[in-house]
Amino acid sequence: MTSINPGKKAAGERATEYIQSGMIVGLGTGSTAFWAIEKIGKMVMEGLQITAVATSVTSEEQAEKLHIPLISFAELDHIDVDIDGADEVDENMNLIKGGGGALLREKIIASSSKEMIVVVDESKMVETLGKFPLPAEVIPFGWEMTFRKLQSFGCTPVLRKKNQEVFVTDNGNYIIDCSFGSIPSPGDLQSQLNNIPGVVENGLFTNICSTVIVGYADGSTKVIS
Ligand code: 5RP
C-alpha cells in the first residue's frame, strides 16, 4: 500500500464493532476491507474468537498472516456478518463491486450472510450507479461473443487486462468492464446481464447490503442503515 486513505481506514475499522466472539465473519477484498481485516487480526490477538471466510486469495493470505482462523466455504452453513468494500453506493444501498476482480466470491459470501456491512470512503457515494464501469465475470470460452452481447445492452465493454495480459480471476474467468454512464434500474440490469450465457455474475449488488459505513478524510465515520 502506498499512502493511507484515512476515510477508508476509519470505515474499515469502524465496521469491526459489529463483530462478536462466536461469529462467522466474511472478509471482503480491496483497500478498505484491508483495514477491517487488519483490525480483526488485532482483536483475535487480544482474544476475540471468530472464524472467517475470505472473498479472495489476497484477503485469505492477509488473514493467514494475522492468524485469523479461516474456514472453507464448504464447511459453512451460514455467515453472521460480511464486511466488504464497494466501488459505488447509491441512495438505496445498491452497489457496484468488482473493481478488484473478486465480485463472484464476494456476492456468494454476501448473499449467504445475515448482514452485509459495506465500508467506503465518501468518494464512493453516488446518486445513481454507473459512472464506475460495471464489471462482469465471464467464462473464457467464447468471451468475444459474450462481449458483443454485453455491448448490445448499450454499454462500452472493455476486456480487463493487468500488465498487458488478460486479467484472470481467482475462479479462472475473465472480467469485462462495462461503461454504462448511468444505471437507473440496477435490479433489472443485474438479472438481465446474468441471463447472458457466458456471464457468470456481474458487479451489481441490489437488496443485499444492510449497513453502509462511510469514512471521511478527517477520520470520522457515518453509519447508514
Ligand atoms: C473488489 C471489490 C472492492 O470491494 C471494491 O473494488 C472497492 O475497493 P477499494 O476498497 O479498494 O476501493 O469489489 O472486487
Q: Report angle CA 59, 119, 222 to the nearest 5 degrees.
A: 155
Q: Is 17 a catalytic residue?
A: no
- Give the tens place of pLDDT for each residue, 180-201: 999 999 999 999 999 999 999 9
pLDDT over 70 percentage in the chain: 99
Domain(s) of CATH 3.40.50.1360: residues in the chain: 6-125+207-224
Domain(s) of CATH 3.30.70.260: residues in the chain: 134-200
| Residue 13 phi, psi (nearest 5) | -70, -40
The single residue of 13, 60, 106, 137 carrying the catalytic annotation is 106
CB 68 near ligand 1, within 6 Å: no
Q: Which amino acid is at 173?
A: N
Instruction: Write the CATH number of the domain with boundaries 6-125+207-224.
Output: 3.40.50.1360
Strand partners, 161: 166
CA 10 → CA 29, 144, 210, distances in Å?
16, 41, 19
Look at domain 134-200 and name its CATH class: alpha beta
- Give the tens place of pLDDT for each residue, 101-139: 999 999 999 999 999 999 999 999 999 999 999 999 999
CB 88 near ligand 1, within 6 Å: no
Q: pTM for the whole thing?
A: 0.95
Cell of 69: 482462523
What spacing in Å lies between the alpha carbon of 101 and ligand 1's midpoint?
8
Tell me what the mean pLDDT of segment 44-67 comes to.
97
The band of 152, judged by pLDDT with boundaries at 50, 70 and 90, is very high
User: What is the rounded CA–CA span in Å between residue 180 and residue 183?
Assistant: 7
pLDDT of residue 73: 86
Tell me what the mean pLDDT of segment 204-208 comes to.
97
